[in-house]
Amino acid sequence: MGLYGKNKATADPNSPFRTGSGARKTPTLTGRKPSSKSESDVLNVSSSKPLPSLISKHRQKNNCPCNESLGSWKIDCSKCGQFWHVDCVGLQGLNEKSINSLTQYLCPLCYVSPVPTTETTVDVCHICRNTLSLQHANLAYESSIASENIGQFCSLLGSLDMKALTKNMDTLSQFDCRLKHLLLKENSLVGLDSEIRTLSNLLADHKTATSNNESLAKCISELQEDIKILQLPSPTPTCNDSSDRFLNDISEKLDRICRGEADITTGLERLRESLEAAQSNHIPQPARPTNAPSHHLHAAPSFPVHPTRLSPSTEPETPPVPHNQVPVSDTKPEFLEHTEAEELKAFLDSTTFNQENGHSVISFGTPYQYNGSKSSSEVPPFPDCLKPFLARINTIQAELYGSLYSDQSHLTAPVINSCLINRYVGPDSYLPRHSDSEPSIHPESSIFTISLGQSSDIKFTERLSGTESSHTCSDRSLYIMSRRSQEIFDHEMEKGSISEGTRYSLTFRCVGWANKNSTCLIGDSNTRFLKFGSNKRGTFGEQMPGQKFWAPKIEDGLL
């Protein structure tokens, strides 16, 4: 680990700070500290530069994917070696000391989130994902509000990523978030002020479009007043009571703006209607009063708007969030040979199971803790008769993982280490609706279930849309679910699905994962360089963009 002159580490293949592939390595810091505040882009969390491409095959590892030569430090990923500007990955708060004290840094491409997301197939850490998506939403939002005439504005509406926008609108609460970041640094209030000015102009420009703009504009002008005070040369905002008071005060005002968001959206919706009407040569409908409920908002698939923020509870159901997950990612109908199945059945028939809700269970290997589990944490090791299946499943797991990271052969697949067996007897048996979403299951591992005995249907329900589907679990078959799908679908075995006789399901998982590969920055949370939390005004906490997120404990020796 070291500090380098600009690009030296990247240019020198013999750099002592680069280790061979697969070796554990500490992040390298490269680049130069911005020489003056004005030159620095470090604090500009609302930067509207385009997002770095996360998936381009042609990325050069020495260059940040943004392809810009910003005057900020670069840090390389301990896993893939890609260099990133600290600005680009949401690490603006880090200084030279804190970066040098990290033992590991995992970049947005390699970070495995403890909470898988429905939003992206690329693993992007929460901090990075939020930074990037905020920038993305801001870009769309800012370009829309910056446009000079209504026609231009309308045409921009069509190209807006409304999902991102509504998700982050929130855009308005971002101001709050940004403000908190900005408050903690001098010289950065100007950016916020100009954004608020822009928003204010938008509201003024479109005064006729919404009736409630006045109150919004009032909130904003109050805010501007606050900002003016904060911009006074002295004292610099620091961690003291008065800046806290300011913060809370401003937060409240921003909350009020957020509550007025529906009015802005109604205005946007009316503009969209006018545009559509103009495009199809229809005469525009007379304007609806702004405070009328916008029921038809959800009827326009090209303009999805999150209803929970925009409409009363009588509105239609939440539109489903697009995702690429399926409940069952693969099946192997004859995974077990007949003789294997017979032997396994004999073993299970003679094993004592523990009764749980609607079925009974037994576990082997690493204990798997789940809601409703009545088993003790004492779990026997894998019996010999299960080991061949465990080995076969681990082969499949390694193949699946290998295909995901085909260009990174040094990476090792998560190892399946736990098996939970359910016994269902007769039509009264069932398995309550649930998903295997415990954070203890490795997020990049799959979940493998062997079915034995009486065939039955397992039912899946997509949580957001309520869409149901089922999969028939026939004797000797294997079905595979991705860990990520567990964030989207619930599954259950309904009463009556076992018509008669006994069914066993043997579910294999990789459990015990405790923040492995999931911490973006590792090694310094307890040192004096990195501090978390708003009260101490640490280098993390409110100063950092993105959200704070829950993470399991960091254990020594896991990395």
In the list ligand AKG, Fe ion, none, the entry touching 493 (Cβ below 5 to 8 angstroms by class) is ligand AKG
Residues 452 to 481: which contact ligand AKG by CB under 6 A?
458, 473
Helix (H) or strand (E) holding 360: strand 359-365
Smallest separation, CB 352 to ligand AKG (Å): 18
Nearest to 454, CA basis, from 423, 495, 491, 420: 423
Q: How far is the CB of 451 from ligand AKG (least distance, A)?
A: 6
- Dist CA 331 CA 307 (whole Å): 37
Stretch that binds Fe ion, among 55-63, 433-441, 466-474, 518-526 (CB under 5 A): 433-441
CB of 436 to Fe ion, least distance (A): 4
Q: Is residue 422 a contact residue for ligand AKG (CB under 6 A)?
A: yes
Q: Identify whether the C-beta of residue 101 lies closer than 8 Å to the C-beta of residue 525.
A: no
Residue 493 touching ligand AKG (CB under 6 A): yes
Nearer to ligand AKG, 456 or 539 (CB): 456
Q: Where are the beta strands (DSSP E) in 240-358?
A: 330-332, 354-356
- Rank residues 123 and 436 by Cβ distance to ligand AKG and give the closer one: 436
* Nearest residue to Fe ion, by Cβ distance, number only: 436
Nearer to ligand AKG, 410 or 495 (CB): 495
Q: Which amino acid is it at 520?
A: C
Q: Which is nearer to ligand AKG, 269 or 494 (CB)?
A: 494
| The binder of ligand AKG chosen from 436, 444, 462, 490 (CB under 6 A) | 436
Alpha helices per DSSP H over 280-437 = 338-349, 387-404
- In one-letter notation, the amino acid at residue 536 is K
Are 9 and 19 in contact, with CB atoms under 8 Å apart? no
Q: Is residue 431 a contact residue for ligand AKG (CB under 6 A)?
A: yes
Nearest distance from C-beta of residue 484 to ligand AKG, angstroms: 16
DSSP 467: -
Strands 359-365 and 418-425, bridge-based pairing: antiparallel
Q: Which is nearer to ligand AKG, 19 or 331 (CB)?
A: 331
Nearer to Fe ion, 193 or 436 (CB): 436
**Among the residue ranges 32-40, 162-170, 419-427, 435-443, the one whose residues contact Fe ion (CB under 5 A):** 435-443
**Given the complex with Fe ion, which of 359 and 531 has the nearer CB atom?**
359
Asked if 491 touches ligand AKG (CB under 6 A), the answer is: yes
> Rounded to an integer, what distance in angstroms lies between the CA atom of residue 210 and that of residue 203?
9
Question: Which amino acid does the sequence have at 58?
Answer: H
In whole angstroms, the minimum distance from the beta carbon of 491 to Fe ion comes to 6
Are 210 and 288 contacting, i.e. CB atoms less than 8 angstroms apart? no
In this structure, what token pair is assigned to residue 353?
């199971």
Q: Does 507 bind ligand AKG (CB under 6 A)?
A: yes
User: From CA 129, how far away is CA 124, in angstroms rounded?
Assistant: 5
Q: What one-character DSSP code corresponds to residue 334?
A: T
The SS3 assignment for 185 reads coil
Size of the site for ligand AKG (CB under 6 A): 11
Contact with ligand AKG (CB under 6 A): which of 110, 230, 254, 420?
420
Q: What distance separates the 2 farthest-apart alpha carbons in the chain?
A: 82
d(CA 134, CA 165): 9
Q: Compute the distance between CA of residue 282 and CA of residue 270 in angstroms, rounded to an integer.
A: 14
If the CB atoms of residues 413 and 506 are measured against ligand AKG, the closer one turns out to be 506
Instruction: Give the shortest CB-470-to-ligand AKG separation in angstroms.
Output: 11
Would you count residue 436 as binding Fe ion (CB under 5 A)?
Answer: yes
> Do residues 398 and 381 lie in contact, with contact meaning Cβ atoms separated by under 8 Å?
no
Of 123-131, 249-257, 263-271, 429-437, which segment contacts Fe ion by CB under 5 A? 429-437
In which residue are the tokens 């822009």 written? 198
| Residue 543 near which of ligand AKG, Fe ion, none (CB within 5-8 Å, type-dependent) | none
Size of the site for Fe ion (CB under 5 A): 1
Shortest Å, Cβ 497 to ligand AKG = 10
Near ligand AKG by CB under 6 A: residue from 10, 113, 188, 505: 505
Between 436 and 444, whose beta carbon lies closer to Fe ion?
436
Determine, following the binding rule CB under 6 A, whether residue 449 of this chain makes contact with ligand AKG: yes
**Residue 441 in contact with ligand AKG, rule: CB under 6 A:** no
Q: Which is nearer to ligand AKG, 133 or 449 (CB)?
A: 449
Give the residue nearest to ligand AKG (CB): 505
Taking CB within 5 to 8 Å according to partner kind, which of Fe ion, ligand AKG, none is near residue 458? Answer: ligand AKG
Place of tokens 């649930």: 434
Query: Rounded to 5 degrees, what are φ and ψ at 457?
Result: -100, 130
The CA distances from residue 203 to 47, 214, 303, 324, 468, in Å, are 22, 8, 21, 38, 44
Beta bridge partners of 418: 365, 509
- Write down the least CB distance from residue 378 to Fe ion, Å: 22
Tokens of residue 279, six digits:
């495009």
Helix, strand, coil percentages in the chain from 3-state DSSP, rounded to 5: 30, 15, 55
Binding site for Fe ion (CB under 5 A): 436
Residues near ligand AKG (CB under 6 A) are 420, 422, 431, 436, 449, 458, 473, 491, 493, 505, 507
